[in-house]
Amino acid sequence: MIHTLEWMPEGVVFIDQTKLPTEEVYVTCRTYQEVAEAIKTMIVRGAPAIGVAAAMGIALGVEQSEAGTVEELRAEFDEISRVITSTRPTAVNLFWAAERMRRVFEENAHLGVAALKQRLVREAREMHAEDIRACEEMGDNGAGLLPDHGGVLTHCNAGALATCGYGTALGVIRSAVKMGKDIVVFADETRPFLQGSRLTAWELMHDGIPTTVISDNMAGAMMRSSAINCENVPGSSDCAPSESACSGSLCTSISRPSAPAATAARAIGTTLSRRPVPCEGSAHIGKWESF
């Protein structure tokens, strides 16, 4: 299994997704500020992974606090949470994780500083384990929706790299392949940050699953030719996080392949806003001009 992030004695360790697919590099964040920077610069990305990274960043900051009382620790907790939650405006899991850590803080404040620190670290690590279990269950439940033989279109990256290990949408593909299904994946590039060509293709090839990278505007033609029987998408996506998601959605509505979505309930926003949403990755486009 690909380990996207892990809690280690020296800090929180991330696979650096800005270096993939040409380099497999791991980054150790030793402070909560470094975790916040990793989230902001997309060293770690994907809603589930961001949520657990946020929890681990908060736990790391609390663990390193020199506060002598619970009230002093609460003030530091508030500042740590503020820094972490200011990193990514579109990540629902980020705020879900911060709120869950706050709830654990308040429910265990009576234990005192030392025990409270331990409890928060334990909660962050449990969230990591929960995510992997949820992804494996989603994969097993969703595998039956995929054809026994056929092509599956993926958009962006909703795999191991977007979670703590197994993946949501790509977890369904992994489980289907384990069941013996003959699946060929078409990964569209996903502009502007190229999560499909850089990340989805890399991790599926890592697992030995046949994968072809296509440009975003090829999806419609591939569906019409029946090369693609199913569009496999992360359920927490819409047209906001990725500019190129819109064309894929329109092609799906016209060509009508099966289009199952896989996500955890905590990744689904329950409110809508007409405010402009920053397109994630736009500031990093220059990095990939030579890719």
As a whole number, the mean pLDDT across the chain is 85
Residues 57 and 84 in one domain: yes
- pLDDT interval class at 225 (50, 70, 90): confident
Residues 84 and 167 in one domain: no
Residue 65 lies in a domain: yes
Q: Domain residues for 245?
A: 143-272+279-285
pLDDT, residue 128, reads 98
Mean pLDDT value across residues 73-89: 96
Task: Identify the domain boundary among 111, 137, 163.
Answer: 137
Residues 239 and 117 in one domain: no
pLDDT, residue 264, reads 60
Residues 231 and 249 in one domain: yes
pTM: 0.83
Residue 241 has pLDDT above 50, yes or no: no
Task: Identify the domain boundary among 113, 137, 161.
Answer: 137
Residues 29 and 131 in one domain: yes
Residues 196 and 121 in one domain: no
CATH at 185: 3.40.50.10470
Residues 162 and 72 in one domain: no
Residues 67 and 28 in one domain: yes
Residue 192 has pLDDT above 60, yes or no: yes
Residues 118 and 10 in one domain: yes
Residue 257 has pLDDT above 70, yes or no: no
Residues 149 and 214 in one domain: yes
Residue 162 lies in a domain: yes
pLDDT, residue 265, reads 55
The structural domain count of the chain equals 2
Residues 96 and 152 in one domain: no
Whole-angstrom distance between the N-terminal and C-terminal Cα of the chain? 26
What is the residue-wise DSSP string for 155-188?
A: -S--SGGGSSSS-SHHHHHHHHHHTT-EEEEEEE
Residue 148 has pLDDT above 50, yes or no: yes
Q: What is the pLDDT of residues 113-145, one digit of tens each?
A: 999 999 999 999 999 999 999 999 999 999 999
Task: Identify the domain boundary among 117, 137, 157.
Answer: 137
- Pure H helices in the chain: 32-40, 47-63, 70-85, 92-107, 113-142, 169-178, 195, 201-206, 219-224, 245-255
Contact 124, 62 (CB under 8 A): no
- Cβ burial, residue 32 (10 Å; 0-12/13-18/19+): buried
CATH at 114: 1.20.120.420
